[in-house]
Amino acid sequence: MTDQAYNFAYLDEQTKRMIRRAILKGIAVPGYQVPFASREMPMPYGWGTGGVQVTAACLVPEDWLKVIDQGADDTTNAVSIRRFFQRTAGVAVTEATAEATIIQTRHRIPETPLTEGQILVYQVPIPEPLRFLEPRETETRKMHELEEYGLMHVKLYEDIARHGQIATSYAYPVKVEGRYVMDPSPIPKFDNPKLSDNPAIQLFGAGREQRIYALPPWTEAVSLDFDDHPFETSKAPHNCDLCGAKDSYLDEVITDDQGGRMFVCSDTDFCGGRRAAGHAGRLGGDQKSSKTFANSFEGIWPGAEVAR
Amino acid sequence: MYVAVKGGERAIDNAHQWLAEERRGDPTVPELTIPQIREQMALAVNRVMAEGSLYDPDLAALAIKQARGDLIEAVFLIRAYRTTLPRLAGSRPVDTGAMAVDRRISATFKDLPGGQVLGPTFDYTHRLLDFTLMAEGEAPQQRNLPDATPADRIPHVTSFLNRDGLIEPVDPSDIAPPDLTREPMELPANRPLRLQALARGDEGFVLSMAYSTQRGYGRTHAFVGELRIGTVAVEVDIPELGFAVEIGEIELTECETVNQFKGSRTEPPQFTRGYGLVMGQSERKAIAMSLVDRALRWQELGEDFTGAPAQDEEFVLMHCDNIQATGFLEHIKLPHYVDFQAELELVRKLRAEAMALQEAAE
């Protein structure tokens, strides 16, 4: 089903070369935002055009590609991007984190630890961690050049003064190898510890803002904090209602209009794998797969699903 | 979560199918053809070509049809297509002095060499709905045009002022302009890059920026020195032949403003220039572009930065592209539940702590 009208993985080889150069530069200077001549892609800016270009530049025909959005393989945009590469590159796709050679992600790092040789590609909306403190690119680039990060610490301090803690729950900034302050894309701060000393290559693509940056394997990425207010991760204080996991990031699902809710793993592959291995949570008995459960919201009952 | 998540694949397919039906509309109404759009929606086609940065009326018409008349969506289709095209050659600079003009007016001189040519303009129409069009009435009457042979070259108004040293001179330059579709935008930008960004920028955004300068936010006292619309030849040097060959014609709208200037710390009093050049017949855009161009030149002319948005290069250039803007704006309808969950936990925690404090105080 590969579309013959386009080059392998959509982009022409010249463009891929340009992107690969930016990636290599990013890997050589971890955390530094490399400008690159982002192309218009056939999906809108904000849908992951940066990530798609990075993935396209990295893909080879032997790759196994996994695409997730909010941790899940079956969110609409993940489906759309996975299909795009199936159509333009004809590569094999998978939902299993361990099986994938390239994983493109929006807003999450998979729960299953990554391994050497894997590439994790992040979709980045605003690559500049200082942007909301200083709107001008000309200024923020200077601040990075001079390692002038005082403003960021003032912001974090003001959070503590006002709220008693640092009130940033996602896109929590990190300092890379003691040099560049970097935006890890809008992952929940729960995922921040996984950024550091990760055996996989982590690439960040921001299409609209024309920036690529990278964390090479085994790179240190320290979440910003203060000695007396150390960085803390956070998640909903529950176990997964489907697989019972205690230590995975959870999505909250509202189940009725009486305040009923359930908590489930945002990483669908992780959750599915645990259930297949026999783990079960509060509502995760054999009879109640997530699909059945979901269908119950849409008014599709198990029998009806089969009948279609 | 599962409501949004599960069945994503099937939902997308169904949505696309529904979209195709909606695009077609009532099947008992005849389908629009591409030539109909190209010929009868020419100004929409022009806008899509200008902001899509691709001169191809047929493809622009196709994009408009496919986008159900959403012009920004049509621009997006054209941009996404354009980006895949190979670069064969760069043309010579087009010579707008040799333009075959359909319209050429000056607001600064009553008459001038080359004359005032009104051309096909809405300017002096009365904006009354013409119900004969609704009744699919008569074809328009034959034009009564004088049989004037058009001049070979129509001089630019600014060249008259230039002769007397009344307007700032512009030295021609052979330096290749940057290409913002092939290199990342670098700031501070030079004037060619700014003009390039404005030429493909959103008409509405550029219009509002220009309007704001007229209302005092970075005022530049602009006169339309000249506005011309017509076709120019596009020539490409063929190295094997050693000369340039005309490969086609394109329609352009060019606007040059003459701006009052009282002099500054570095420049003597003289008129200054703003420039607008847009593909197709797009005079609102060309005039707006020339005002914004002039406002952005405050630094090189030694004027003060008053904090006006239209003077702020980074503000204007980073926000004038409607494809970037609409993408980022609309992406917030994509799922964000992971981040929202993190925010929920944070707000719950902060509230619990605040309530505990309140109770302790009571």
Please check whether residue A108 is in contact with residue A71, taking contact to mean a CB–CB distance below 8 angstroms.
yes
Please check whether residue B96 is in contact with residue B85, taking contact to mean a CB–CB distance below 8 angstroms.
no
- Is the preceding peptide bond at B188 cis, omega within 30 degrees of 0? yes
Q: What is the pLDDT of residues B187-203, one digit of tens each?
A: 999 999 999 999 999 99
Q: What is the pLDDT of residues B255-301, one digit of tens each?
A: 999 998 777 777 778 899 999 999 999 999 999 999 999 999 999 98
Strand, helix or coil for residue A159: helix
- Is A240 among the residues known to form the active site? yes
More confident residue, A286 or B230: B230
Describe the crossing of helices B71-82 and B57-66 by its angle, rounded to 10 degrees.
130
Q: What is the pLDDT of residues A58-72, one digit of tens each?
A: 999 999 999 999 999
Comparing alpha-carbon positions, the chain A residue that sits nearest to B315 is A136
ipTM: 0.74
Strand, helix or coil for residue B290: helix
Q: Are the beta carbons of A236 and B326 separated by less than 8 Å? A: no
Q: What is the pLDDT of residues A103-152, one digit of tens each?
A: 999 999 999 999 999 999 999 999 999 998 998 999 999 999 999 999 99
| pLDDT at residue A307 is higher than 60 | no
Q: What is the pLDDT of residues B54-93, one digit of tens each?
A: 999 999 999 999 999 999 999 999 999 999 888 888 899 9
Averaged confidence pLDDT in chain A: 90
Smallest Cα distance from B105 to chain A, Å: 37
Residues in chain A closer than 8 A to B13 (CB atoms): none
Q: Are the beta carbons of B86 and A6 separated by less than 8 Å? A: no
Section A214-243 average pLDDT: 95
Least confident of A216-230, A277-291, B209-223, B334-348: A277-291
Residue A203 has, within 13 A of its CA and on its CB side, a CA count of 33
Smallest Cα distance from B117 to chain A, Å: 39
Comparing alpha-carbon positions, the chain B residue that sits nearest to A71 is B338
B138 band by pLDDT with thresholds 50, 70 and 90: low
Q: B321's torsion region: left (phi>0), alpha (psi -120 to 50) or beta?
A: beta
CB contacts < 8 A (A, B): 164
Predicted pLDDT of residue A280: 92
From edge to edge, which strands make up the β-sheet containing A174-176?
A180-182, A174-176, A221-223
Q: Are the beta carbons of B330 and A44 separated by less than 8 Å? A: yes
| pLDDT at residue B6 is higher than 70 | no
Gyration radius of chain B's alpha carbons: 26
- Is A58 among the residues known to form the active site? no
Predicted pLDDT of residue B265: 72
Comparing alpha-carbon positions, the chain B residue that sits nearest to A44 is B327
Q: What percent of chain A has pLDDT over 70?
A: 91
Residues in chain A closer than 8 A to B79 (CB atoms): 40
- Distances in Å between the Cα of A95 and the Cα atoms of A71, B165, B339 are 11, 71, 22
Output b/e per residue, B252-277; b: 16+ Cβ within 10 A. bbbbbbbbebeeeeeeeebbbbbbbb
User: How far, in Å, CA of B341 to CA of A249, rounded?
Assistant: 9
Q: Are the beta carbons of B338 and A187 separated by less than 8 Å? A: yes
Residues in chain B closer than 8 A to A39 (CB atoms): 83
B135 band by pLDDT with thresholds 50, 70 and 90: confident
Predicted pLDDT of residue B157: 87
| pLDDT at residue A298 is higher than 60 | no
Q: Are the beta carbons of A45 and B331 separated by less than 8 Å? A: yes
In one-letter notation, the amino acid at residue B76 is F
Smallest Cα distance from A158 to chain B, Å: 15
User: How far, in Å, CA of A23 to CA of A30, rounded?
Assistant: 10
Please check whether residue A269 is in contact with residue A95, taking contact to mean a CB–CB distance below 8 angstroms.
yes
The model's pTM: 0.84
Closest partner residue to A44 among B6, B187, B326, by Cβ?
B326
Task: Please give the sequence-ordered ranges of beta strands (E in DSSP) within B25-117, or none if there are none.
Answer: 100-105
User: How far, in Å, CA of B187 to CA of B176, rounded?
Assistant: 18
The DSSP call for residue B332 is G
Q: Are the beta carbons of A234 and B346 separated by less than 8 Å? A: yes
Predicted pLDDT of residue A303: 39
Task: Please give the sequence-ordered ranges of beta strands (E in DSSP) within chain B, or none if there are none.
Answer: 100-105, 222-238, 243-259, 272-279
A301 band by pLDDT with thresholds 50, 70 and 90: very low
User: How far, in Å, CA of A227 to CA of A45, rounded?
Assistant: 39
B110 band by pLDDT with thresholds 50, 70 and 90: confident
User: How far, in Å, CA of A300 to CA of B23, rounded?
Assistant: 29
